[in-house]
């Protein structure tokens, strides 16, 4: 045997090992690239009942938040027919826009002159429907592209003189209509279809390029999100009235969240609407101690489950055509009135505005 034989064999073995290592690294890099977070995919949701503080907006920017999902409530803006109070909405939209954050609002709630209950959609009479449409046109003409709020020098640019306009281009119609308490007197996909149609027509009249989202559907309501959507698709011509399907996949496990998204996607594809994306307009875990409902995970657990949910979304986002994910919510409310839910502890920031471990976990995804 040649004295150089073992050395040659060793070199050959080393080269083979290096080839395996290079292949493995290449695969890992490809997988990482595939899972890379698209800019703006993860965002935040909150009703912002008392507006948004500068410290909150600055903390959002540190976490690379590019859009915020929040409610615009009809009776708050137009409490009397024809009388508008834009003060709080102007401030909220403007404070976000000044930091380059897009507002994606869900427009919600009936004024008293249109329905006898806030949670009853304005469908009871032609006058109620016309009042709702008039309000929607006013909203779009104020905050949409070229809207009065951005062009009137006494409004946005007076408060934010050097900031760029960030008009609202996506509008969501109503909130959780597959829950009776939010869609009185009862859940009805056909009645929601009627509300969607008149809303679509009003919004498109004001901005032909606006995008319209279905209301966010809680996944595991009595009528599931995919069950509601399946019935909605039965309404003739309904596909032309929306550009995105929205879901709130609250569940005690990430596997059940994934199941809900998969079921929703199946319904979309089955109805030959595969180009229509899914928007997750609420997703969250609470930081209270674990409880019987499975949605509270403790402070550390909240951050851990945020990572699990976001990784699940990244893994499936192309297959399920997921456009945006809004974490509910931004900050824990000062007044604690929650029983058996996560509304008072799901914030990325606590009541005092200090970031939780979940904020740091959120930022790990948005900084990529």
pLDDT surpassing 50 at residue 24: no
Two tokens, residue 110: 């009936």
Domains of the chain listed by start with CATH number:
39-366 (3.20.20.80)
C-alpha–C-alpha distance, residues 49 and 323, integer Å: 26
Look-up of token digits 């149609």: 197
C-alpha–C-alpha distance, residues 330 and 49, integer Å: 12
What integer is the mean pLDDT of 165-188? 98
C-alpha–C-alpha distance, residues 229 and 235, integer Å: 10
What integer is the mean pLDDT of 264-269? 98
pLDDT of residue 35: 54
- Is the alpha carbon torsion for 75, 80, 83, 88 positive or negative? negative
**Using N-to-C axis directions, what is the helix angle for 225-232 and 189-206, rounded to 10°?**
70
Q: Strand order in 102-108's β-sheet?
A: 211-213, 170-173, 102-108, 67-73, 42-45, 322-328, 278-283, 245-248, 217-218
Two tokens, residue 338: 């929650």
pLDDT in tens, 81-91: 999 999 999 99
102-108 vs 217-218, strand pairing mode: unpaired
Alpha helices for 207-288 (secondary structure H): 225-232, 254-270
**Using N-to-C axis directions, what is the helix angle for 254-270 and 225-232, rounded to 10°?**
10
- The pLDDT-based confidence of 339 (bands split at 50, 70, 90) is low
pLDDT in tens, 55-97: 999 999 999 999 999 999 999 999 999 999 999 999 999 999 9
Kindly compute the dihedral angle of the four CA atoms of residues 268, 273, 275, 276, in this order, to the nearest 10 degrees: -60
67-73 vs 42-45, strand pairing mode: parallel
For residue 144, report the phi and psi dihedrals to the nearest 5 degrees.
-75, 180
Q: Which residues pair with 213 in a beta bridge?
A: 172, 244
pLDDT surpassing 60 at residue 27: no
- Is the alpha carbon torsion for 166, 170, 176, 177 positive or negative? positive
pLDDT surpassing 80 at residue 163: yes
pLDDT of residue 338: 67
What integer is the mean pLDDT of 247-270? 98
Q: What is the DSSP letter of 238?
A: G
Using CA atoms, how far residue 356 sits from 254, 284, 311, 352, 361, in Å, is 21, 14, 19, 11, 9
364 exposed, middle or buried (CB, 10 Å; 0-12, 13-18, 19+)?
middle
Instruction: Pick the closest to residue 250 from 279, 229, 277, 221 (CA basis).
Output: 221
The average confidence (pLDDT) of the chain is 90
Q: Considering the chain, what percentage of its residues have pLDDT values greater than 70?
A: 89
- The pLDDT-based confidence of 340 (bands split at 50, 70, 90) is low
**pTM to 2 decimals?**
0.89
146 Rama sector, left if φ>0, alpha if ψ -120 to 50, beta otherwise:
left
User: Looking at per-residue confidence, does 349 or 29 come out higher?
Assistant: 349
pLDDT surpassing 80 at residue 207: yes
Instruction: Pick the closest to residue 350 from 291, 299, 312, 297 (CA basis).
Output: 299
pLDDT in tens, 110-137: 999 999 999 999 999 999 999 999 999 9
pLDDT in tens, 272-311: 999 999 999 999 999 999 988 899 999 999 999 999 999 9
| The Cα angle at residue 327 between residues 325 and 332, in degrees rounded to 5 | 170
């Amino acid at each position: 045997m040649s004295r150089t034989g073992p050395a040659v064999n060793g070199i050959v073995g080393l080269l083979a090992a290096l080839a395996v290592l290079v292949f493995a690294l290449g695969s890992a890099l490809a997988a990482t690239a595939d899972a890379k977070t698209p800019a703006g995919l993860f965002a935040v949701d909150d009703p912002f009942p008392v507006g948004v503080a500068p410290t909150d907006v600055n903390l959002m920017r540190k976490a690379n938040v590019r859009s915020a999902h929040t409610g615009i409530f009809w009776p708050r803006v137009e409490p009397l027919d024809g009388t508008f109070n834009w003060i709080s909405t102007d401030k909220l939209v403007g404070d976000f826009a000044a930091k380059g954050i897009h507002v994606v609002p869900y427009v919600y709630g009936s004024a008293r002159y249109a329905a006898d209950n806030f949670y009853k959609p304005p469908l009871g009479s032609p006058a109620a429907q016309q009042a709702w449409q008039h309000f929607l046109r006013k909203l779009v003409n104020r905050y949409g592209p070229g809207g009065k709020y951005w062009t009137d020098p006494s409004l946005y640019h007076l408060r934010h003189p050097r900031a760029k306009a960030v008009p609202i281009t996506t509008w969501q119609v109503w909130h959780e209509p597959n829950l009776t308490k939010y869609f009185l007197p009862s859940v009805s996909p056909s009645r929601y279809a009627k509300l969607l149609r008149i809303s679509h027509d009003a919004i498109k009249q004001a901005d032909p390029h606006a995008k319209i989202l279905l209301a966010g559907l809680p996944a595991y309501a009595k009528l599931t999100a995919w069950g509601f959507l399946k019935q909605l698709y039965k309404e003739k011509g309904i596909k032309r009235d929306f550009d995105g399907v929205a879901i709130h996949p609250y569940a005690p496990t990430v596997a059940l969240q994934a199941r809900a998204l998969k079921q929703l996607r199946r319904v979309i594809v089955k109805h030959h609407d595969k180009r229509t994306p899914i928007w997750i307009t609420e997703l969250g875990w609470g930081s209270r101690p674990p409880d019987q409902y499975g949605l509270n995970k403790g402070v550390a657990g909240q951050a851990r489950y945020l990572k699990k949910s976001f990784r699940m979304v990244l893994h499936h986002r192309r297959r399920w055509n997921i456009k945006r994910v809004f974490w509910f919510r931004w900050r824990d409310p000062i007044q604690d009135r929650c029983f058996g839910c996560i509304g008072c502890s799901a914030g990325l920031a606590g009541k005092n505005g200090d970031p939780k471990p979940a904020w740091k976990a959120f930022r790990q995804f948005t900084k990529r």
